[in-house]
Amino acid sequence: MKNILVTGGAGFIGSAFVRHMVATYPDYQIICFDKLTYAGNLDNLLSVSDETNYRFEHGDIADRECVASVLRTYNIDTIVNFAAESHVDRSILDPDAFIHTDVVGAYILLDEGRKHGIGRFCHVSTDEVYGDIESGYSTEDDRFLPNSPYAASKAGGELMVRAYQITYAMDTVITRGSNTYGPYQYPEKLIPFFTTEALDDRPLPLYGDGKQIRDWLYVDDHARGVDVVLHCGESGEAYNLAGENQRHNISVTEDILELLQKPKSLIKHVPDREGHDRRYAMSAAKARQLGWRCKFNFEAGLQATVRWYVENEWWWRKIKTGEYLDYYRQQYAKRLAAVD
């Protein structure tokens, strides 16, 4: 590996991966390729922008010419695909962009990568492909039962990765991460959304009874997990990157309020998300065999994250304008009005 294309590297987890790789491997060229959608943000990469082993290229993974050109220009030998539409609620409002990027984009990237003769293709996926897990833990050979358009589009992308491994003998690996949190996460996902809303004493719209369970993974642990699978994963295999920190949403919400010393009265139980999965839980045993394990426990990770949002208003205040407010109104206005 020498010239690594990191797609979606200006997003939340992709930028943590880029920062990690630039610092850890001075001999690699890290080329971030990103469409800069609403979720892409070059502020996330300010700390590496002057590094000599880092470059940024603006482009869409579903644009064949653009992908072919960047592969040629930088003589890319490795692709790590983080690029995706990633928010379940937005996929319910309009699945179109999810099919474009998570399915078609993944295919174009694989196809151009194959034609260019790249080495390893590492595809970043999610625990949501397994669907709702009433009890026990998903292992890598479990069947896919995606329930949201987001989860289905990620499952579609993964199946195309599998097909390219088997049909064209491409060298691929897949990671399936659990719910990730940490600095630089776009404030539409539970933890950064509730933290920034609570800071302004605004209502926190908790879906349904708030007893849904998510397994939380700190972003730096996720980024390191992708590095471990990229370097040590067996060709053709998928690896669960599970935080092994299961929490009810209500408990996470109360922890955030306690850290900010804000009242529980900010919590508003609003009508539930359509098709809402109750629980995700995966076994991390296979990734552990590669030597990966989480360094952050949830309490320390949440504290560091909340503190980061308190100290970095410059980063999130300018996001919470324009398109963000349109989305907020579409997603929450009726829900909040229903419980007023």
Where on the chain is the footprint of ligand NAD (CB under 6 A)? 7-8, 10-14, 34-37, 39-40, 60-62, 82-86, 101, 105, 124, 126, 154, 177, 179-180, 186
84 binds, among ligand NAD, ligand TYD, none (CB under 5 to 8 A by kind): ligand NAD
Under 8 Å CB-to-CB from 339, ≥6 apart: which residues? 268, 269, 270, 271
Give the three-class secondary structure for 17: helix
214 binds, among ligand TYD, ligand NAD, none (CB under 5 to 8 A by kind): ligand TYD
Nearer to ligand NAD, 77 or 85 (CB): 85
Q: 3-class secondary structure for 34-82?
A: ECCCCCCCHHHHHHHCCCCCEEEEECCCCCHHHHHHHHHHCCCCEEEEC
Alpha-carbon span 101 to 94, nearest angstrom: 13
Alpha-carbon span 302 to 95, nearest angstrom: 30
Alpha-carbon span 201 to 307, nearest angstrom: 16
Quick check: 12 and 39 in contact, CB under 8 A? yes
Alpha-carbon span 144 to 133, nearest angstrom: 11
113 binds, among ligand TYD, ligand NAD, none (CB under 5 to 8 A by kind): none
Give the three-class secondary structure for 174: strand
Alpha-carbon span 72 to 277, nearest angstrom: 42
Distances (CA, A) of 302 to 69, 76, 308: 41, 36, 10
Nearer to ligand TYD, 44 or 249 (CB): 249
Nearer to ligand TYD, 105 or 149 (CB): 149
7 binds, among ligand TYD, ligand NAD, none (CB under 5 to 8 A by kind): ligand NAD
Nearer to ligand TYD, 78 or 196 (CB): 196
Alpha-carbon span 221 to 217, nearest angstrom: 7
Q: Which stretch binds ligand TYD (CB under 6 A): 10-18, 73-81, 187-195, 312-320?
A: 187-195
Nearer to ligand TYD, 64 or 273 (CB): 273
Q: Which of 71, 83, 88, 106 binds ligand TYD (CB under 6 A)?
A: 88
Q: State which of positions 196-235 bind ligand TYD (CB under 6 A).
A: 205-207, 212, 214
Quick check: 294 and 282 in contact, CB under 8 A? no
Residue recorded with tokens 């590492």:
122
Which residues are part of the catalytic machinery?
Answer: 127-128, 150
DSSP 101: I
Least distance from ligand NAD to the Cβ atom of residue 178, Å: 6
80 binds, among ligand TYD, ligand NAD, none (CB under 5 to 8 A by kind): none
Question: Is 179 near ligand TYD (CB under 6 A)?
Answer: yes
**Residue 168 is which amino acid?**
Y
Least distance from ligand TYD to the Cβ atom of residue 331, Å: 8
10 binds, among ligand NAD, ligand TYD, none (CB under 5 to 8 A by kind): ligand NAD
Question: Is 257 near ligand TYD (CB under 6 A)?
Answer: no
Quick check: 91 and 50 in contact, CB under 8 A? no
Nearer to ligand TYD, 58 or 273 (CB): 273
Question: Is 84 near ligand TYD (CB under 6 A)?
Answer: no
Under 8 Å CB-to-CB from 178, ≥6 apart: which residues? 126, 127, 214, 215, 216, 217, 240, 241, 242, 243, 280, 282
Q: How many CA atoms lie within 13 A of 73 on its CB side?
A: 12
8 binds, among ligand NAD, ligand TYD, none (CB under 5 to 8 A by kind): ligand NAD
Q: Which of 15, 37, 165, 249 binds ligand TYD (CB under 6 A)?
A: 249
Least distance from ligand NAD to the Cβ atom of residue 35, Å: 4
Containing 329, the helix (H) or strand (E) segment is helix 323-338
Nearer to ligand NAD, 86 or 262 (CB): 86
Give me the residues that bind ligand TYD (CB under 6 A), please. 88, 179, 189-190, 193, 205-207, 212, 214, 249, 273
